[in-house]
Chains A and B, each alone.
Chain A
Amino acid sequence: MAAEDLPSEFDVVILGTGLAESVVAAACSRVGQRVLHLDRRSYYAANWASFTFNGLLTWIQEQNSQTEEVRDWSSLLEEGEELLHLSDTDSASITNLQVFCYTKGAGEEEFSHDVFIRSDFQTVTFLNQSQAAQTPGEEPEAARPHPSAAQSQSEPTRKKLSYAQLVKEGRRFNIDLVSKLLFSRGSLVDLLIKSNVSRYAEFKNVTRILTYRHGNMEQVPCSRADVFASRQLLVVEKRKLMRFLNSCMEETEEQQAYNGRPYLDFLRDQQLGDNLQHFLLHSIAMVTEDTPTEEGLASTRHFLRCLGRYGNTPFLFPVYGLGEIPQCFCRMCAVFGGTYCLRHSVHCLIVDRDTNRYDAAHTGVCVFLSRAVLITDASVLPGESDQQVSMVTVPPAAAGGPTVKMVELCSSTMTCVPGTYLVHLTCQSTGSAHQDLSPVVTMMFRTTESEEPGNEHGRPFVLWCFYFNMADGSAVEVEGHQLPCNVYVCSGPDGSLGHEHAVKQAEFIFHKILPDEDFCPPAPNPEDIIYDGDEGAAGQEENQGEQESDL
């Protein structure tokens, strides 16, 4: 530690500031553990981070230029100890980065088409060196003529932001690496409330659930008010849907008879029409056609329980992006005495050979998520208000293909500038992110001006987009590593829509370290804290726990 007045002894050392790590840090600090929380990166939240537009461009570049520095730390060893080396980079967790820019740079008539490809073998290929590859600091557009004059001639009605404007307004974007939502009655919301960490963040309701069906974007009626207002449903369908939604909350023998059989069969046998089956399967239960009935019903119930707590949809989204959440927990940790240090790597662990047996095993990640981030100029379903936060389910085009979950954020979520929408797409990888998601993108968006001339109400235009693959955290097995017994491993973000995985993991690790402590008890109000008296400042080391993240 550089500063002398900082503590040098800790009960818990946590590496990486992802969600699960940050929750563990807050939980430990909250019950009086001395926490050192490190991250080798220059930003919080690891693969859960949110970036400004310019920050994201920098991040993309960094992903392409990581090198590992190997040093020998064996001089630190004492008798009976050995070293456990830790990887220094994210080399395995982010792959296949590709950036496309479709909006005009000022004065340019053709579209810039920039592609970076980074394969799993860590070879970086610049297909086309252009603006996007330049560091934001250079501001290449600044010297060029103002773009609005050229644009107003070609398209008088819809003004598009140029790339230069995106860069200029880049600070107003908060682009998440992962795309998730908070279930209103999910474990993360419960934890935020229970621990009082919620006071550090603000949330917006997702305002509508959409689905892509028969080439159209449709609103899914899921709440009572939606069903009432829906124009696509006949009154009889409304009754059937409402009745189903009410009845499925309770377990019945009839439902149990379908255990093990596909949910779709169950829905079909409930005399629900095609569109109701679609809504229930893809948008409400968010499962696939062959998901068993009990699982489908469980997720339907979870969805319905979350309805109405904060609004007409079951989801919340944090203002300023998901990267806020880990930071809020870090803040809680710091408030209760945790020490933070970014840009600080831990290269190896020193392990007592006698008490801790281990095999230094490094697991490669083989399951990936495909992600795409789009900046568009219009909503996929323009409505009365232009400030809609939409959750969109896109069922697989062909059976067996991945279901794409799409979240469209408007500017009031503070993740993009007014006049633009930030669209996140996520699915399980079958190929590279571009292979998986570009068909969906071309289906729902326009990437060229000429495609639909004169069609003002056409699909939204993509100004800029970014594809990448990220390791699926839920695929990393935490148990079973031959690690020292006081080392615990957190996985990165998983592919599901909620945060259940990370919260569960954090609670699990916390109880491993401190089996008898309350997990994230409510933080007291500032006025109730007693500051005088310094009793108990010097304590004994009780439990040494260390975690490593991001295998």
Chain B
Amino acid sequence: MHGRVKVKTTAQQEEEKKKEREKKLKIYIAARDACFSKRKEGIFDDEALQLTQQLLSSNPDIATLWNYRREILMHLETVRDEDEVQKIYQDELLFLESCLKVNPKSYGSWHHRGWVSARLPRPDWARELGLCDRCLSLDDRNFHCWDYRRMVVRMSGVPVEKELEFTDRLIGSNFSNYSSWHYRSTLLPLLHPECPEQDSPRCEPPLASPPPSPQTHFHRVCEEQLLKEYELVQNAFFTDPNDQSAWFYYRWLLGRAELEEMISCVYVSREEERVAVAFSRPVSALSVGLLLVLDGQPQRVEWRSVHPHFKHSPVWICDLPPGTISDTSNEHNLTVHLTETHTHKDCALYTGRSESWCRDTATDQELFRSELSVEKTSVLQSELQSVKQLQELEPLNKWCLLTIILLMRALDPLGYEKETLAHFQTLKEVDSMRSAYYSDLCSKFMIENTILKMEYAEVRVFSISDQNLTTLCHLDQLLLVTHINLSSNDLQRLPPQFAMLQCLEVLEADNNFIESLEGVYRLPKLEEVSLKNNKISTLADLQPLASCPKLKRLDLRGNPITQTAGVESQLAELLPSVTDLLL
């Protein structure tokens, strides 16, 4: 048709672009080679600065060139006066801005900017903070910029309140943002620390100088501010209950500080001449400086964890030199020192006693407290009410269900046990992709509940049969248990942690799916093992039992291994101590 505009065909355009690219590539390679050879010759001049600038502005991810540039700049620092250096570095910042415009997520550019800002004789931090603001308003999840912002804040002492307001702004424009919520969680404890004295009505932020920096970590926030945060985060999860970031922040708000490292239990057995020590969390005996003092004499002993798998473990054991405490007519006093934290625990082994222990009286408040809060019950109760309100509107929301479970556990784990189990059932149905996770979590909570019940009953028997357990945990809490019944669950293995049950005499684990007995390892008092109807199929699976010297009775009925020919004689060879073998 006449008058129609003639446009180049795509083939023509491609051809032109190709030529253009080839031309560019030639220039690029020439400049790159020139840079490398200049660096080799140790030339740090303005020309090199220009060459690297050209290259880096088209490709900011060549770390070598940034390094060369830094070498040049450091050289120039030595030969120019301060004003000139200031000028050079300011130009460098401008150049970096143009690089960041092209690629706002370049590691090289951000790192170099941090380096330049730190070396600038008269830095303009306000400008840098403004740059971060702009960058984060374009992409509020640019972690490079978040990192740089933290550096700017640290260097220039931006007040914590200002940074908190900044997170307010970002969360206001889009609350699906882990970075902002997390930043908040580092700022709040600085601005509104938890009152050390419970009776003081409200906390003033500390007027300490220098101003607290967001890098130091306290973990708790005073209650007044917590209530405001609960409200904020509720607005988020009521608006969009499927957004994880708000729920995670909520969990942080409800949570509490990690347990301090301390000795929770010392156990001594006269017969084995062995000491076992349990800690509040996994430690490495070598690094915490564990020291055993027996009757005033420091002992040279070798600490080992309960299983060779563990470099860190909550339970450590040591054997005393033979004959040290074997005489039952003697009384002994043991002290275990934790030199790192200057704490210790004493334990007395009285005359005529074959064993002794000293442990913290565990109450439900303290036992599993790293999970959820110590907030006043009324606060938790009202939080539970509002999350339940949301659940009425969104009966199938997994985050909501999970949070209800956690709140119920914080409030009254035994009282809410039935409801908790029902919610777990719903969770497994609505989020079937994670049903195994929920089963494990449910197992954990059931074990905690059983431990609590055992504590109240003050017995050394741990029985948790027919509860659909899929995993075992908190085994460090079972150091003193002598009888354990795990029958009729869904367990597939007795994990290495099982070796923490140093006092165990009887193990019942019938009707599970156990195929591995890794954790039944060097249990000095173990006499009876019942593993009816499990999945043990080879002799190698039973190998760990050989390390238990007192094992007398073993019931393997209903396991595939019983079908193997000649198994009886092989077992007799593997486990010579067993006198009572049921196949």
Contacts and interface: CB of A to CB of B under 8 A. Distances in A.
A398 interface: no
B138 interface: no
B403 interface: no
A34 B3 CA distance: 8
A238 B2 contact: no
B1 A239 contact: no
Interface residues of B, number: 25
B393 interface: yes
B3 A337 contact: yes
B393 A239 contact: yes
A239 B6 contact: no
Contacts of B13: 528
Interface string B381-398: 000001001100110000
B3 A32 contact: yes
Contacts of B239: 224, 227-228, 238-239, 242
Given A32-B2, A336-B5, A239 B241 contact: yes
Nearest to A523: B5
Nearest to A34: B3
Interface string A247-287: 00000000000000000000000000000000000000000
A530 interface: yes
Given A235-B386, A528-B13, A530-B8, A228 B236 contact: yes
A240 B393 contact: yes
B570 interface: no
B393 A533 contact: no
A298 interface: no
Interface string B369-410: 000000000000000001001100110000000000000000
A510 to B, nearest CB: 15
A538 interface: yes
B3 A524 contact: no
A538 B1 CA distance: 10
B479 to A, nearest CB: 46
A225 B173 contact: yes
B395 to A, nearest CB: 12
B3 A228 contact: no
B324 interface: no
A236 B2 contact: no
Given A31-B1, A243-B393, A530 B236 contact: no
Nearest to A242: B239
Interface in A412-458: none
B139 to A, nearest CB: 16
Interface string B1-31: 1111111100001000000000000000000
B7 A530 contact: yes
A156 interface: no
Interface string A521-551: 0001000111001001111101000000000
A229 interface: yes
Nearest to A540: B2
B2 A539 contact: yes
Contacts, number: 79
A425 B235 CA distance: 34
Contacts of B235: 228-229, 235, 238
Contacts of B6: 529-530, 533
Nearest to A225: B173
Contact of B7 (A229, A236, A240, A529): A529
Nearest to B10: A528
Nearest to B175: A228
B389 A228 contact: no
A336 B1 CA distance: 13
Contacts of B236: 228
B173 A239 contact: no
A542 B7 contact: no
A225 B174 contact: yes
A538 B3 CA distance: 8
B7 A528 contact: yes
Interface residues of A, number: 29
A362 B337 CA distance: 106
Interface in B256-275: none
Contacts of B8: 524, 528-530
Contacts of A539: 1-3
A50 B128 CA distance: 42
A533 B175 CA distance: 58
A240 B7 CA distance: 53
A208 to B, nearest CB: 13
A533 B6 CA distance: 10
B483 to A, nearest CB: 50
Nearest to B176: A224
A31 B4 contact: yes
Nearest to B172: A229
Interface in B153-210: 172-175
Interface in B202-230: none
A530 B5 CA distance: 8
A225 B1 contact: no
B178 to A, nearest CB: 16
Given A224-B240, A227-B239, A229-B172, A239 B390 contact: yes
A236 B239 CA distance: 9
Contacts of A34: 3
B387 to A, nearest CB: 11
A81 to B, nearest CB: 27
Contact of B240 (A242, A538, A540): A242
B244 to A, nearest CB: 15
A165 to B, nearest CB: 35
Contacts of B44: none
Nearest to A30: B5
Given A224-B175, A239-B394, 20 more contacts: A31-B1, A31-B4, A224-B239, A224-B240, A225-B172, A228-B172, A235-B235, A235-B238, A236-B390, A239-B238, A239-B390, A242-B238, A336-B5, A524-B5, A524-B8, A528-B7, A529-B6, A538-B2, A540-B2, A542-B1
9 contacts: A32-B5, A236-B238, A238-B238, A239-B239, A240-B393, A242-B240, A336-B5, A538-B2, A540-B2
Complex A-B, nearest 4 residue pairs according to Cβ-Cβ distance, in ascending order: A539-B2, A32-B4, A235-B238, A530-B6
